[in-house]
Amino acid sequence: MKRTRIGAIDVGTTKVCTIMADTDGSIAGTRILGVGIVPSHGLQKGMVVNVNEAKESIRDSIRKAEQVAGYKMESAFIGITGRHVVSSNNKGAVAITRGDQLVRPTDLRRVLEVAKSVKVPGDRKLLHVIPRTYMVDGQEGVKNPVGMHGFRLDVETHIITAAVTSIQNLAKCIRGVGIEIDDLVLEPLASAEAVLSDEEKQTGVILADIGGGTTDIAVFKDNTIYHTSVLPVAGHLITRDISVGMGLSFDLAEEMKRKYGNVMPVQEENADQDQTLTQDGHSVSYRDLSEIIRIRVDELIRLIVLELPHTDYAKIVPSGIVLTGGSANLPGIAELGMEVTHLPVRVGAPVNLYGVSDTLRDPAYATGVGLLMWKMRNEDTNDIKAKQPESGLHRLVSGIFRLFK
Ligand SMILES: Nc1ncnc2c1ncn2[C@@H]1O[C@H](COP(=O)(O)OP(=O)(O)OP(=O)(O)O)[C@@H](O)[C@H]1O
Ligand SMILES: [Mg+2]
């Protein structure tokens, strides 16, 4: 079978991760051929704030991956995140006017075009239009209406828009290093591809990717996307708390966090907790360090579940929360999450990878791996991009439908 080369670049606030692979089109048939991970510069809270610095980090990361893979990368799937990303659910409807009243693939395309024709302000761009569910003549919950009979086809979509300037800055960095963009993918959607099971997506689950600058959230239910959002609270704030609370430099606080950080409540009888940690001549108490981290993580977990519209979490997301991102490496984070939310909580890292993939088995690389999988998983879901401004056709189609109604 013919193999094609694919690439992914996760431009994070703390690291850039480039992955090169080849694939026969299936996830099982994907081999990782090159990985390049470098610290990132020029980003804040998930967004490019300095194009030249960001470009250099991206270039370094690609160079590293290319060295391992032994060939040049030409194009890649790119992750995007930041506070500028906004999501909403929208609807669209079309009439099936042909004699046989049979829903065909072209009707799916038409109804998505209608759902896509939302008014997007000039300073924003559509990133994803993902069909959630269809309705044929009022019958709800149809996953694939092709082949059904009806007069009217409705679709519910999840629409994600992003600030044009943020997209442009990121695109400039990527194109600036000679890489073509296959697609821009919202980061939590990518992370979800790498770590969630179909069953979790079906019953209801929150994916929370706690990175350095942002916590990216995607909620799935009934095997479809339910909600997405981006919180500007993540690992950097934990480090800042340690730095301010203990009078350490940011770098030393970061080192302490990674080496000794823990979020479990202090057990009184545990003598280990009274130990003093020494790093580069600075001493801090283990108990104080854990306490500072725990308070911030506790708050963050509460913010994550607050994303859900109701307080009845257990009903919406019985599969609970899956944590990814570098900060999910904090020991005890899943236990604290369960204590706070009374939901199942687990840490998700990419698994079942082939090739030079050892470094990627860490929650921090869920986004990068998920970007690779995005296309394979979403080939048939009709996630359509708004490439051009509204065409006359959308207006005509919706106009006809209004007349018909
Ligand atoms: N072992 C560890 N213990 C605690 N925190 C960790 C550990 N490893 C990484 N981190 C934290 O994870 C964060 C980086 O995570 P990640 O690599 O997912 O971020 P990113 O993708 O670069 O950023 P973002 O997605 O926010 O743009 C940093 O704040 C770092 O301190
Ligand atoms: Mg990230």
Confirm or reject: Cβ of 326 under 6 Å from ligand 1.
yes
Q: Is residue 114 within 8 Å of residue 401, measured between CB atoms? A: yes
The DSSP 8-state label assigned to residue 364 in this structure reads: G
pTM of model > 0.85: yes
Beta bridge partners of 345: 321
Residue 204 CB–ligand 1 contact under 6 Å:
no
Select from 255, 328, 245 the least CA-distant residue to 289: 245
Would you state the pLDDT for residue 389?
A: 36
Contact indicator for 125, 386 with CB cutoff of 8 Å: yes
Asked if residue 154 and residue 112 are part of one domain, the reply reads: yes
Looking at the structure, tell me whether residues 358 and 393 fall in a common domain: no
Q: In this structure, which amino acid lies at residue 323?
A: L
330 lines ligand 1 (CB under 6 A): yes
Q: What's 133's domain CATH number?
A: 3.30.1490.110
Residues 60 and 189 in one domain: yes
Look at 45-49, 258-262, 267-271, 295-299 and tell me which has the smallest mean pLDDT.
Answer: 267-271
Written as six digits, the tokens of 194 are 């790498």
User: pLDDT exceeding 70 applies to what percent of the chain?
Assistant: 90
305: in domain: yes
**79: nearest Cα among 47, 52, 51:** 47
Written as six digits, the tokens of 146 are 């092709």
Do 296 and 151 fall into the same domain?
A: no
Model confidence at 238: pLDDT above 80: yes
Q: With both helix axes pointing from N to C terminus, report the angle between 333-341 and 286-306 in degrees, rounded to the nearest 10.
A: 50
In a domain, 72, yes or no: yes
CB 186 within 8 A of CB 80: yes
pLDDT at 387: 36
- Are 279 and 373 in a shared domain? no
Whether residues 340 and 388 fall in one domain: no
Ligand 1 site-directed mutation target among 14, 49, 166, 359, most atoms within 8 Å of CB: 14
Is residue 363 within 6 Å of ligand 1 at its C-beta? Answer: no
- The CA distance from 201 to 206, in Å, is 9
Q: Which atom of ligand 1 is nearest to the CA of 16?
A: 22
Contacting residues for 168 by C-beta, under 8 A, at least 6 apart: none
Say if residue 73 is in the same domain as residue 172.
yes
Whether the per-residue pLDDT at 310 is higher than 80: the answer is no
Query: Region 209-232: what's the mean pLDDT?
Result: 94
Please say whether the dihedral angle defined by the alpha carbons of residues 312, 314, 315 and 320, taken in this order, is positive or negative: positive
Query: Same domain for 52 and 191?
Result: yes
Q: Of ligand 1's atoms, which has the minimum distance to the CA of residue 15? A: 22
Q: Which ligand does the CA of 234 lie closest to?
A: 1
Residue 325 alpha carbon to ligand 1 centre in Å: 6
Of the listed ranges 36-45, 93-102, 281-290, the one predicted with least confidence: 281-290
Residue found by looking up tokens 């996830």 in the block: 27
144 within domain boundaries: yes
Instruction: Give yes or no for a contact between 203 and 319, defined as CB atoms under 8 angstroms apart.
Output: yes
Task: Point out the ligand 1 atom lying closest to the alpha carbon of residue 214.
Answer: 26
Among 346, 369, 392, the domain-final residue is 346
31, part of any domain: yes
Q: Left if phi > 0, otherwise alpha if psi is -120 to 50, otherwise beta: which for 172? A: alpha
- Nearest residue (CA) to ligand 1, atom 19: 211
Q: Does 12 contact ligand 1 (Cβ within 6 A)?
A: yes
Mean pLDDT of the chain: 89
240 and 366 part of one domain: no
CB of 232 closer than 8 Å to CB of 45: yes
- Please provide the DSSP assignment of 151-202 as one string: SEEEEEEEEEEEEHHHHHHHHHHHHHTT-EEEEEEEHHHHHHHHH--HHHHH
Q: Is residue 315 part of a domain?
A: yes
Q: What is the pLDDT of residue 275?
A: 77
Q: For residue 279, what pLDDT is reported?
A: 75
Q: Are 158 and 89 in contact (CB under 8 A)?
A: yes
- Ligand that lies nearest to the alpha carbon of residue 37, given by its number in the listed order: 1
Q: At 223, is the secondary structure helix, strand, or coil?
A: coil
- Are 63 and 93 part of one and the same domain? no
* pLDDT attached to residue 384: 52
Using most ligand atoms within 8 A of CB, pick from 17, 19, 209, 258 the residue to mutate for ligand 1: 258
23: left (phi over 0), alpha (psi -120 to 50) or beta: beta
Does residue 71 form part of some domain?
A: yes
Domain count, the chain: 3
13 lines ligand 1 (CB under 6 A): yes
The answer to whether residue 203 sits within a structural domain is no
In a domain, 171, yes or no: yes
Say if residue 57 is in the same domain as residue 176. yes
Residues spanned by the domain of 68 = 4-83+165-196+350-378
Residue type, 404: F
397 confidence band (pLDDT: 50, 70, 90): very low
When comparing pLDDT for 27 and 68, which is higher?
68
Q: What is the pLDDT of residues 63-122, one digit of tens each?
A: 999 999 999 999 999 999 999 999 988 899 999 988 899 999 999 999 998 988 888 889
Enumerate residues 6+ apart whose C-beta is below 8 A from 295: 241
Bridge-based pairing state of the strands 124-136 and 152-163: antiparallel
Residues 244 and 303 in one domain: yes
- Average of per-residue pLDDT across 364-390: 71
Instruction: Name the residue with the closest Cα to ligand 1, atom 28.
Output: 212
* 308 neighbors 316 (Cβ within 8 angstroms): yes
CA of 270 from ligand 2 middle (Å) equals 35
213 lines ligand 1 (CB under 6 A): yes
**Per-residue pLDDT band at 234 (split at 50, 70, 90):** very high
Q: How far is the CA of 213 from the centre of ligand 1 (A)?
A: 8
Q: Which residue, judged by its Cα, is nearest atom 5 of ligand 1?
A: 327
Element (H, E) at 133: strand 124-136
pLDDT band (50, 70, 90) for residue 156? very high
Contact predicate 170/199, CB 8 Å: no
Residues forming a β-bridge with 215? 210, 231
Q: What is the pLDDT of residue 177?
A: 97
Q: Give pLDDT tens digits for 189-210.
A: 999 999 999 999 999 999 999 9
Instruction: Establish whether residue 72 lines the binding site of ligand 1, counting it when its CB lies within 6 angstroms of any ligand atom.
Output: no
CATH number of the domain to which 239 belongs: 3.30.420.40
244 pLDDT above the threshold of 90: yes
Burial 142-175 (b: 16+ CB within 10 A, else e): beebeebebebbbbbbbbbbbbeebbebbeebbe
User: What does the pLDDT read at residue 153?
Assistant: 96
Query: Is the beta carbon of 82 within 6 A of some atom in ligand 1?
Result: no
